[in-house]
Amino acid sequence: MNEQIEVLTLNIPDTDKPRLVIIGGGFGGLATIRNLRKCAFQVVVFDERNYNTFQPLLYQVATAGLQPDAIASPLRKEMWEGADYHFRHLKVLTIDSTTNTLSTIAGKISYDYLIIATGTRANFFGNKQLQQYTLPLKTIPDALNIRSQIMQMLEMATITPPEKQQEFMNIAIVGGGPTGVEMAGALAELRKHVLWRDYPQLDFSKMNIYLLEGGPVLLPAMSAESGAKSLKDLEAMGIIVRLNTLAASCDGQSLTLKDGSTIATRTIVWSAGVKAGIPTGVPDSWIESGRILVDDHCRVPTSPNVFAIGDVALQKSAAFPKGLPGVAQPAMQMGAYLGKNLGKMHENKPVKPFHYFDKGSLATIGRAKAVADFPGNLKFSGRIAWFIWLFIHIAYLVSFRNKLVVFATWCWNFITYEKGNRLIIRPFFRKDDLITSEMTD
């Protein structure tokens, strides 16, 4: 293997043009690429995945509502044909800002301009047990792990004595932000409309779905009304919501809460926190509050040829003194801003500072149930908010094919109450999970 690594090379041609390297083809990186028309740069994009992920719909993949390829799009498709654009499916290992180079498993590359758009990773706040036994939801493989785990545990329940079935059927979701709320709502619908038909021998009154939130409200980043409405709707759907409740530890069979009580469950979804995915080598002086501090041109103040956008960046303004929210819109808007303006910056032409336009926030709870907060204190809930949510998600999906597939699948699911992707295509095993691995080995 090492011999093979030694012969790897990036194969990026030498150029007289300034080289722009972009790390990350997520919301921010993709918006940059799409706005860099006819640019004077050689553009090199690195991503550890060869596709862009539409993270807002990951929970639907995890709950069998959508197929994974409906929310992913190949990054190579975004490289302008014939232009000096290069994609490498590689993780950037380190950045060396003193030599303006970065390294990958296939070698080093220098940059004239660098855009760091690496997003976030799950944050377990240093709790090793939670990291080992809970399931984060950040990537498509994460979503498939959750889907497989839910289905595998139900299959296990069918071959377990009734008095022991509950730990296989219960599900706990830690974190009552949009991901936790959306996940809980989708699981309640799966239980109500689908699972009892698949598993007639199981008693679904025993299947408890818990949503645990450390703070006093759900959807803390949204209005108090939206938080209260989501709580009311989820409780009406049979979700056990526990506010002011923190997870303390787990052992693969149960979850222990800070108050000492336990929940018997083998499936714990972790949606309680993320941290910026800052590549190794980024100097400490660039970092503030765990993110890369940038000025109003998305630039690292002490290294004007380096930019950070999206979730990894901390851009403070009078309206957002703690930085922009970690959602898709800031990432897309910052990416579009750099894509349009980097050429001018290179030519030392005047460029207006970046201005974030807040378009509001949304969360769906279930069938015809959602909450929406818009600027100007405009709030919607129920069917109207749900239609807005549907429309916006279709509109922002990355390709026409994905829009069509998602729309058709949603129509089918709505009419039939189906969630047809409840497949264990790639079984999920924890290292210590002998029971489930023995089932399929």
Ligand X SMILES: Cc1cc2nc3c(=O)[nH]c(=O)nc-3n(C[C@H](O)[C@H](O)[C@H](O)COP(=O)(O)OP(=O)(O)OC[C@H]3O[C@@H](n4cnc5c(N)ncnc54)[C@H](O)[C@@H]3O)c2cc1C
Residues identified as active-site = 182
Alpha carbon distances (Å) from 242 to 208, 391, 435: 13, 31, 30
- Going by C-beta distance under 8 Å and a sequence separation of 6 or more, which residues neighbour residue 104? 10, 46, 88, 90, 91, 92, 93
Query: Using CA of residue 408, residue 410, residue 414, residue 420, what is the dihedral sign?
Result: positive
Q: How far is the CB of 133 from ligand X (least distance, A)?
A: 19
Q: How far is the CB of 278 from ligand X (least distance, A)?
A: 9
Q: How far is the CB of 177 from ligand X (least distance, A)?
A: 9
Is 121 or 242 the residue whose CB approaches ligand X more closely? 121
- Going by C-beta distance under 8 Å and a sequence separation of 6 or more, which residues neighbour residue 191? 204, 207, 209, 238
Is 54 or 168 the residue whose CB approaches ligand X more closely? 54
Q: How far is the CB of 263 from ligand X (least distance, A)?
A: 22
CA distance 239 to 220: 18
Is 221 or 264 the residue whose CB approaches ligand X more closely? 221
Residues at the interface with ligand X (CB under 6 A): 23-29, 46-49, 55-56, 58-59, 91-92, 117-119, 137-138, 178-179, 277, 279, 310-312, 326-329, 331
3-state SS record for 374-424: ECCCEEEEHHHHHHHHHHHHHHHCCCHHHHHHHHHHHHHHHHHCCCCCCCC
Position of minimal CB gap to ligand X:
26
Q: How far is the CB of 298 from ligand X (least distance, A)?
A: 12
Is 75 or 247 the residue whose CB approaches ligand X more closely? 75
- Coil, helix or strand at residue 317: coil
Q: How far is the CB of 362 from ligand X (least distance, A)?
A: 7
Is 207 or 362 the residue whose CB approaches ligand X more closely? 362
Measured between its terminal Cα atoms, the distance across the chain in Å is: 27
Contact 438, 152 (CB under 8 A): no
Tokens of 250: 């787990």
Tokens of 389: 């949510």
Is 140 or 169 the residue whose CB approaches ligand X more closely? 140
Contact 269, 176 (CB under 8 A): no
